[in-house]
Each structure stands twice: as C-alpha cells, then as structure tokens.
Structure 1
Amino acid sequence: MGLGMLSLNRLAYSQDYKKVHQDLVIVDGHNDVIYESIFGGKDIGQRLSTGATDLPRLKEGGVDVQVFAVWSDDAKWKTGAFEHANAQIDALEKMIVANAENIALAKSVRDIDAILKAGKIAALIGVEGGNMIEGSIDNLIKLHERGAKYLTLTWNYNVPWASCAAMESGKMDSKAKGLTDHGKAIIRKMNELGMLVDLSHGGEQTFYDAIAVSSKPILVSHSNAYRLCPHFRNLKDEQLEALKKNGGVIGVNFYSGFLDPEYETRLKRMYTRQFGKNADTTLSTWKMYDKLPVDVRYEVDAPMSKLLDHIDYLVKKVGIEHVAVGSDFDGIESAPQGLEDVSKFPLLTKGLLERGYNKADIAKIMGQNFLRILKENEG
C-alpha cells in the first residue's frame, strides 16, 4: 500500500472516531474545577491557561454532562463545612448564570434531557465528603434540594459515622471501621431522596456496609482496579464482584497514580534528575510534579494504555453495563499522556475503538451507565 493510501486511511479513521464521539452522550462523573478555579474567582466561561477545565474546552471535548464536585479538606474545615459546601454551590450557580447560553444546572434526569435538547452542557453537583453534612440528615436534605446528586461518604479522613480508605488501609490510625447506625440511617435517607451513594474514598468495611444497607445501585465515582494498581483508592476484585451484584457503576479515574503503580517512582526519579542534590522527594507528588518543566511532565504521566487496561479489566470483572468515567480532572496533578484536559475526551473514544469496543459499548462507558443509575436512584 502506498503512502498516499495510508494517509487517506488515517484521515478516514480520524474522522470516524470524531464522528462516533460526537454522536455519544458524554458524562464525566467527577471534576474538581469548582475548588480549583471557580471558587477562587477564575472565569471558566473563557479558555484558561491553567487547570484542565473550562467551558470552551468542555465543548471541544464533547462533554455533555459534567458532575462538578463540591469538596472541602476535612482538616481545614472541622467546623463550618456545610456553609463552605453551600458557598461552593453559590459560586457554581453564579458561573452558570453568567454562561446561561452554554450551561444549565440539572437536578434530575429529566432536566438533563431538556438541557441537552437545548444544546447546552448539563451541570450536576456531587458532594465529595460526608464532613460537609456535619452529621446532619437535615443538611443532607438541604444539599440535595440545591441539586446534589451524590454524596461521597468520606474523603481521606474518617467522619464520625463512616471510615475512609486512607484510614482503613493503615495509612492513618483508625479506631473504628465501617458505618455506624447513624451512617446507615444516612444511606437509607439518600435512597429515599434518590441521591446516589458514592463509595470512592470509602474504606472496605464502609463499602460493604453501604452495599448491604442500600436498596439502590451505588456509585464509585472515581476509582480504578486494585489488581492493576494496588492503591487504597482502587477497588479489589471482591469489591468489584459486590458492585456487580448491586447493579452499581464504577467511574474510571484518570489519575496516573491510580492507574500506574510505577508513577510515583518515575516522578521521583525525574524530579531527582532535574534538581539533583536539591531534590526533596519527601514533597507531595503534586508539588514535585508542579515543579517539573512542562515538557518533562509528559514523560512522567501514565501512558493512555494504562487507562484502557483498567477499563478492559473492569469490563471483564463487572460487565460493560457497570463501567463509566470519573476523570477527577483538576483534582489530580497528572493525567494519562494525551488526556491532559477535558478537551481531549475524543481521544479516549479513539482508544476504546482501537481496543475493539463497538459504538454501543462505548456509549455505555462514556455516559449511558452513569445516566442509568441516576435514573434508577431517582425512581
């Protein structure tokens, strides 16, 4: 075959994956741009030179439904976390009002349908961390009324009614594991409200306790497969089996550190190479990565093949109906090569096509599965 024919084939293939992507409803189940940009006053209605997310790039990436995470660091918000959550929702709503021609807040699947028909991005709210309800079911209800579609039960610290993965893994001291009776009451109230129970960041015992209590499918919004990358934020095979029986969904996380077990070693090696005897490898991965020259970071990022490997593994373990996307953009320092920001989502569709997934299966992973459990929880 001549070079001209090869070029034509590549062009046709490029157009094919872009057309496939354009025809899908793309749902990203977790993005931290509220805290990273919006809450600090950055205008994501305009293209930003920093961060991974803004409306122009969401449009370029074909993202139809974006879950915006409301987050607070438990250590900094031991009091006032509920107020802080509401302040973040206020900031999100202000951004939406300022960009009403491009985006609207959805509080239900019916809202999502109407917003997409109007040609806009549907914004959903996910509350990342049970500390923000301050132990109050009334606060939970109020956040749901403002549009919160899921509550991630914990972040990286235990709350009085649930233990987190970081604590249960032995990374931090933990006196008790799982859900308390009050925690179980919170799960039942979430089921009643039609609010998704999100078990990313949750400890193993919390995971099993929540699945035992929940009468509806649960979400693991931004986690990966422990077998491929043994990090406490990823799910073990037994958890994946329980997730499948529950009918829930796991959203793959784009963080290099949750995809590739060699990421941190590679980062420290590159950091030492750049800064020699002045290299402080006790810094957080975020700080080390941030100090690296931009052109060097790409060498540290996980190959996109690692993300596709996790998708393949999860599909094998739980089935095509139970895998989704939860990028964690703007909550991570390193994403896979080629997926540096939200504008690059079409390349994930391209990668899935190259792995042999058909359009119907890609549609499930890229959006339909997430929308399914939203609807089942609302029902």
Structure 2
Amino acid sequence: MNSDPMKLFPWLLLLILDVLAFRIDKSIREKAVELMKQAPLIDGHNDLPLRLRILYQNRLSKINLKILNTTVTNIQKLQSGHVGAQSMNLWFGLSMFLFQFWSVYVLCSAQNKDAVRLTLEQIDVVKRMCQIYPELELVTTSQGIADSKKIACLIGIEGGHSIDSSLATLRMYYDLGVRYMSLTHTCNTPWAESSSKQVHNFYPNLNGLSSFGKEVVMEMNRLGMMIDLSHTSDSTSRMVLRISKAPVIFSHSSAFSVCNHSRNVPDDILRSLKKNNGIVMVTFYTKVLACGREVVNVATVADHFDHIKKIAGSKSIGIGGDYDGVDQFPEGLEDVSKYSALIAELLRRGWTERELTGVLRENLLRVFKEVEKVRNDSKSMNENENEIPQREVQNSCRLDLRNPPLQTANVLPISYGSPSVVQTLGLMFITVIYIILH
C-alpha cells in the first residue's frame, strides 16, 4: 500500500475545496432564501387563467388549485417559491408573500369577434379564484401590495385586441381591476404593431402606433393603467416611450443583444426605458432566452439580467416568468417554486442585496406608484371620448351606429309604399289636434 503523504495531498486538497465550495454555495442559497423573505417577489406575468380555460373551461369547482398538478402553477408551489425549491418545508411559520400579475389573455383569433366577452370571462375566473381560496387576495393599488398578507393577485390584459378599439371598454376594464395592458400580442391591432407580424394577418400595413394608438396610451396614463410593451414591435415601443407621461413595463421580455429574438428588447430601447424609469421583467421562456442553444439553465437567464443591468442599470429590471404561458423553461426554473435559484445565481455573480431587492419587488412598485401619480395629476382631465375612424376597423362583426341607413318610421300600422293622399291628410289632422290640445 502506497502511503506517501505527498501523493495523497492533491486528493485531500480537492476534497477540501469541494467541501468549501459546497458550504459557500449553501450559504448563497440560504442568503437568497432570506432575501426573498425580506423582499417578497412580484412576478409580472403568469398565464394560469389561460390554462384553466383550456383544461377546465374555467370550472373552478372541478379542481383544487392548492395542489393542481396539470399546470406548473398552484398555490402550494407559489408558497414554496418564496423559500426556494429545496426548502418547501421552511414555508411553515415564515411570514412571506408572493405578488402575482395574472394574465387575462385571449387568443388573437378572437380579434374582431368575441375578444371582449372572452376577456371578461378571464377576469371573472381570476376574481373567483381570489374569492374561493383564502390564500389569495385581489389587489389593485401599490398600497394594496404593501398591505397584503396573502398571495396578492393583480390583473393584466395581454393584447390590445381585448378592448376592440374602444376607450370606453378600456375604462371598464380598469374599473374591474385591470392594472396593465399589453398593447399587442402576436397580432397587430388596428392601432398598434406587434413584434410577431408573421403569425397573423390582421392589419398588415400598420407601422408602429397609429393616431388612435396614441389616444390609447394617453388614456392609460390618465386612468393609471400600466402600459406593457412586451410583444410590441420596436417601432411601437419607441413611439410609446416618446409620448407616455408614466413609466412603462415589458412584463415578460429579455435582452435582444443576448438573444436576437423579435420578442426581446434592443439596447437603444433599454436606454430609453432607463430615461422613462420603466422596467423589463425578464422572462423564463427558453425560446427567447437562448436562440437555439442546447443548454438552457439558470445561468442563461442571468446573462440577460447582466446585460440589461449593464445597459440600463439594475433599477430597470424585474421578473416576468411567463409560467403556464409557454412549455419550455430553463433547467432549474421549471415551475413557480424555483425563483430562488435565479436569485442565488445573481448573488454568485456579485449582485448586491439592494439591487436584488429592486429586482424582486421595489422596481415594479416604483413604476406602479409613478403611474398612480400621473393618474392623480390628471384628475382635471375628462374621459377621452375619441373613437377610432370607422374605416380602420371595418369588419362584419362591427356595427357602425354613427351613419345608420335612413329609415322611414311606420306611422300607420301598415305602410308598404309611399303614403297616400288620405294618409297624409290624416297625419296632418292628427298633428293639428295634438298642437291645439297641448
């Protein structure tokens, strides 16, 4: 047996280094958990309501949302997401809460059809979720987020086709609790251009934001509804950033310079976003993170965080996982219980606790408060009564009431043609008697 201590030394050194690395990594993971306890996460985008429609036709009576296993989101996973994937049992006894924007998304194929009805049904299912489960609470203000002691639920519309080009409909959604709207999804609306123009053929000649689109932006500012630019074209984003009085968000996007996908945000827009005081809430969708790379993990996501921080600063970043909206997530971030893996990776990369507190919640809260301030400063403004030009929205499902065809009222019970002399004289006699009596 060879007992030469010098030959054993490299093996002992490797063992010591492995132990030290394990302890350091454990310390970082514990630090991430502790940080998320102190600064509970606000996630900008989750499509669970869409999955509930597709899988269960919004019949909440048929499911148990606490342990639902046909989705990557359930209440149990949301709760464990505060303390990390490895520490679900640590939830009990801890005072930590998640804040989630639920997307009330309806398919682009509903545009010019029943998008408004479908959107109302999605709002309904979110509200019923919050009524049925005591762990959930619907909130509509930045102060409501600060005060909530539950899983706070907020509502965001994904796609401007949900308002059917109607500012009145937009206002009604706000009254129902909607606090952000993505101007487009994967289809152009009559007034805003999508980043995915090749997916649908709606309004193909639109470039950026139309005149009515500018009215939508200004009315959202007046209402206090956050403008979401995820899924919009770069032209649309640039125009909105020039005219919006309030900060804007990208509720689930990433960095174009890291992955040149049309869904992602180029550097010039990141710089404008910094001036606007808005934020990009980095998404976990593999396709827009990696651009075809085989290995997609937590480090891939962190690369996007690093780049956005370099261009726009850490105050311009949040998290918008897009869970249950897509089917491919990075290794280590497969469901809503695993957010802390990302926070730990950013800590390893030298992000400070203050920066990460911003990423987790403070940056979004700042935007929300500034949007509310713009609303409060606009109290003297009246509702915008402008309508989109009829020529821009002509379709078989839209009735034009501004120029209805002229119709002759049937004064007499039966009249199939021009009135006879007798009918005319009779009408004149009735009119004279009416004037005398009154």
Q: TM-score range by the shorter chain?
A: 0.7 to 0.9
Structure with the bigger percentage of helix: 1
Gap change, CA 1:225 and 1:98, over 3 Å in 2: same
TM-superposed CA distance for 1:40, in Å, is: 3.8
Q: Do residues 360 (structure 1) and 351 (structure 2) align?
A: no
Question: Relative to 1, partners in 2 of residues 1:244 and 1:157: Cα closer, same or farther, differing over 3 Å?
Answer: same
Residue aligning to 1:140: 170
- Residue 237 of structure 1 pairs with residue 267 of structure 2: yes
**Ranges in structure 1 where 5+ consecutive residues have no aligned partner:** 267-300
Q: CA deviation at 1:64?
A: 1.5
Which of 61, 75, 85 is the matching residue for 2:119? 85
User: Would the aligned equivalents of 2:297 and 2:333 in 1 still touch at CA under 8 Å?
Assistant: no
- Aligned-partner residue type, residue 358 of structure 1: T
Q: Which residue of 2 aligns with 1:152?
A: 182
Gapped regions of structure 2 (runs ≥ 5): 1-12, 83-96, 374-438
Cα pair distance change 1:143/1:171, threshold 3 Å: closer
Shift of 1:172: 6.2
| 1:251 match: secondary structure | strand
Residues 37, 316 of structure 1: CA spacing in aligned structure 2 closer, same or farther, 3 A cutoff? Answer: same
Of 66, 88, 110, the residue aligned with 2:143 is: 110
- Distance across 2 between alignment mates of 1:199 and 1:250: 9
**Matching residue of 1:58:** 78
The aligned runs of 1:174-323 (5 Å cut-off) are 174-263=204-293, 266=294, 302-323=296-317
TM-score normalised to structure 1 length:
0.85
**Does structure 1 residue 35 correspond to structure 2 residue 50?**
yes
Cα distance in 1 for residues equivalent to 2:309 and 2:73: 27
Please tell me whether the aligned partners of residues 29 and 341 of structure 2 are also in contact (alpha carbons under 8 angstroms).
no
SS of the aligned residue for 1:374 comes to: helix
Q: CA deviation at 1:52?
A: 1.3
Deviations 1:230-257 (A, max 9, x none): 1110011111111112111111010011
Residues 220, 226 of structure 2: 8 Å contact kept: yes
SS where residue 327 of structure 1 aligns?
coil
3-state SS of the aligned residue for 2:238? Answer: helix
C-alpha distance after superposition, 1:123-149 (max 9, x if no partner): 000000000100110100011111111
8 Å CA contact 1:37–1:44 kept in 2: the answer is no
- Residues 1:6 and 1:133: Cα distance change in structure 2 (over 3 Å): closer
Paired residues of 1:165 and 1:232 also in contact (CA < 8 A): yes
Q: How does 1:161-180 map to 2 (within 5 A)?
A: 161-167=191-197, 174-180=204-210
Q: Secondary structure at the match of 2:196?
A: helix
Equivalences, count: 337
* Cα deviation 1:330-355 (Å, max 9, x = unaligned): 11111111000000011111111111
Q: CA deviation at 1:17?
A: 2.4
Stretch of structure 1 that moved more, 133-142 or 73-82? 73-82
Residue 375 (1) aligns with residue 369 (2): yes
Which secondary structure state, in structure 1, belongs to the residue aligned with residue 236 of structure 2?
A: helix
| 1:274 alignment partner in structure 2 | none
Aligned in 2, Cα 1:356/1:80: closer, same or farther, shift over 3 Å?
same
Taking a change above 3 Å as real, the CA distance of residues 248 and 11 of structure 1, as seen in their structure-2 partners, is closer
Name the residue aligned to 1:285.
Answer: none
CA contact (8 A) 1:44 1:55 kept: no
Q: C-alpha displacement at 1:14, in angstroms?
A: 3.4
Residue type at the aligned position of 1:92? V
State the alpha-carbon separation in 1 of the partners of residues 51 and 366 from structure 2.
29
Q: Distance in 1 between matches of 2:247 and 2:139?
A: 20
- Check the 8 A contact 2:136/2:150 in 1, yes or no: yes
Per-residue deviation, 1:261: 1.2
SS of the counterpart of 1:165?
Answer: coil
Larger radius of gyration: 2
> What is the deviation of 1:50?
2.1
How far, CA to CA, are the matches of 1:359 and 1:368 in structure 2? Answer: 12
The residue identity in structure 1 corresponding to 2:159 is: G
Q: Secondary structure at the match of 1:221?
A: strand
The secondary structure found in structure 2 opposite 1:362 is helix
Measure the CA separation in 1 of the matches of 2:187 and 2:353.
40
Q: Is residue 104–residue 122 contact of structure 2 (8 Å, CA) maintained in 1?
A: yes
Relative distance call for 1:9 and 1:202 in structure 2 (3 A) is closer
Change (3 A) 1:369 1:13: closer
Q: CA deviation at 1:9?
A: 4.7
SS at match of 2:98: strand
Aligned to 1:99: 133
2:318 to 324, 345, 352: 324
Q: Distance in 1 between matches of 2:302 and 2:143?
A: 31
**Quick one: distance in 2 between partners of 1:194 and 1:235?**
24
3-state SS in 2 of match to 1:343: coil
Residue aligning to 1:22: 37
Q: Which structure ranks higher in relative contact order (CA pairs < 8 Å, sequence separation ≥ 6)? A: 1
- State which drifts further: 59-68 or 123-132: 59-68
Q: Once structures 1 and 2 are overlaid, which stretch shifts more, 312-321 or 30-39?
A: 30-39
Structure 2 residue 96 is matched with structure 1 residue 48: no
Q: 1:344 aligns with which of 327, 332, 338?
A: 338
Q: Give yes or no for contact 1:67–1:126 (8 Å, CA) kept in 2.
A: yes
Per the alignment, do residues 140 and 44 of structure 1 end up closer, same or farther by CA in structure 2, a change over 3 Å counting?
farther
**Cα distance in 1 for residues equivalent to 2:243 and 2:27:** 50
Whether the 8 Å contact between 1:44 and 1:53 is mirrored in structure 2 is no
**Counterpart-to-counterpart distance in 2, 1:315 and 1:5:** 30
CA deviations 1:73-123 (Å, max 9, x no partner) are: 1114431111111111111111111112x11001101111221xxx20110
**Secondary structure at the residue paired with 1:151?**
strand
How has the CA–CA distance of structure 1 residues 252 and 6 changed in structure 2, closer, same or farther, with 3 Å as cutoff? closer
Q: How far apart are residue 180 of structure 1 and its match?
A: 1.2
